[in-house]
Structure 1
Amino acid sequence: MGEYRGEIAIDRPAAEVFDFLSDIRNMPRYLPTVRKAAPSGEGKVAMQGEANGHPYHDEGWLKCDTGALRMQWGSDSKPDYGGEIAVQEAGSGAKVSLSMSLTAAPEVAARMQRDSGSVDHAMRQAMTRTLDAIKTACETPAEAPPRADDLPDSRPFGSSATLNPDI
């Protein structure tokens, strides 16, 4: 299982950034393969989207600790997948730390190896794109939400950095 970490500074108050990230409905704004995310019961989330030209649907769990500005998640169908976002005050803005644990499916790992030189390199790129997309989404004024085309791509060669069953 791979462990991946990254962080980014965001020019918005930490509580505001966490409120944005912990609202499941905002996930499609920073996770490009996700088309719809919605609660599906107590502490549960359902995700729908498209990756590599194939639609997917996955369910998982989501825990938000508003006091600690921390969100954790995992997939019901992939026990080796999970992640955490933590938001901290940082000067006049916030610092977002993202960590993920996952094992790429063999065919996805082979594609990442071929296209990027290694799974680790592809995942580091995906983490950077995801964090850049979060920054863009959080720093874009509410009256002018970004179009999906304008957000940095968080997919490592077509695979989402979230509850994507293809990873």
Structure 2
Amino acid sequence: MGHHEASTTVDVAANILFDYVSDLDNLPDYLPRLAGIHRIAPRPDEAQGLEVRRPKEPVHEEVEVAATVPSGQTVHSEAWIDIVEENRSLRWGAPGDGDYHGELDVDFVADGTSRLTVRLDTEHGTVDAINSQLHEALESIKTKLEQETTPEA
């Protein structure tokens, strides 16, 4: 199994960055191969806020995703996503032969600046292609959020 990791600095506050990346509706905007995502179960009670779960307990979501594979074909698969607000961490995976899973972390750097790191473990694709997609996803997030939060002159 190949382990891949990429990071970037984003000139946006850590809480704003994490709110964006942890919103499931935004995932297709920044994950290059993800064509769509929808929940296959109601949102868990833990998703209502920190006061209804134990410290660092993840909000676990079961989802169905549509993704475009390298051949150009769209495939549908079940997956899971865990969101841990206190750690500003998003973890995901898909059942099956490839044991595909990953993690995205947002770290505070300074006021208005964050570090975004993505890790992916997969057997699918070449090292260069996967690393390119990780950098593409990070650049997409960075560009979108920095443009949205830059005050107009």
- Report the TM-score when normalising by structure 1: 0.70
Distance 1:38 1:89, change over 3 A: same
Q: Which of 126, 131, 135 in structure 1 is aligned with 2:133? A: 126
Q: Which of 78, 83, 89 in structure 1 is aligned with 2:108? A: 89
Distance 1:44 1:135, change over 3 A: same
Task: Give the match for residue 24 of structure 2.
Answer: 24
CA RMSD of aligned residues (A): 1.8
Cα distance, 1:25 vs. partner? 0.4
- Per-residue CA deviations over 1:15-67 (Å, capped at 9, x if unaligned) read 11111111110011112332221222252121124333312111111100001
Question: Which segments of 5 or more consecutive residues in structure 2 lack a partner in the other structure?
Answer: 45-60
Distance 1:95 1:17, change over 3 A: same
* C-alpha contact (below 8 Å) 1:39/1:46 kept by paired residues: yes
Q: Which of 41, 50, 54 in structure 1 is aligned with 2:68? A: 50
* C-alpha contact (below 8 Å) 2:5/2:119 kept by paired residues: yes
Task: Give the match for residue 122 of structure 2.
Answer: 102
C-alpha distance in 2, partners of 1:94/1:18? 10
SS of the equivalent of 2:148 reads: coil
Aligned length: 129
* C-alpha contact (below 8 Å) 1:58/1:77 kept by paired residues: no
Percent of pairs identical after alignment? 24
Structure with more of its chain in strand, by fraction: 2
C-alpha distance in 2, partners of 1:28/1:124? 18
C-alpha distance in 1, partners of 2:6/2:109? 15
C-alpha distance in 1, partners of 2:66/2:146? 25
SS of the equivalent of 1:100 reads: strand
Cα distance, 1:90 vs. partner? 1.2
C-alpha distance in 2, partners of 1:137/1:58? 27
Cα distance, 1:121 vs. partner? 2.5
Question: Which segments of 5 or more consecutive residues in structure 1 lack a partner in the other structure?
Answer: 110-118, 143-167
Distance 1:47 1:140, change over 3 A: farther
C-alpha distance in 2, partners of 1:40/1:79? 22
Runs of 4+ in 1 over 6 A off after TM superposition: none
Q: Residue type of the partner of 1:84?
A: E
* C-alpha contact (below 8 Å) 1:60/1:77 kept by paired residues: no
SS of the equivalent of 1:77 reads: coil
* C-alpha contact (below 8 Å) 1:59/1:77 kept by paired residues: no
- Report the TM-score when normalising by structure 2: 0.76
Over alpha carbons, which structure has the higher Rg? 2
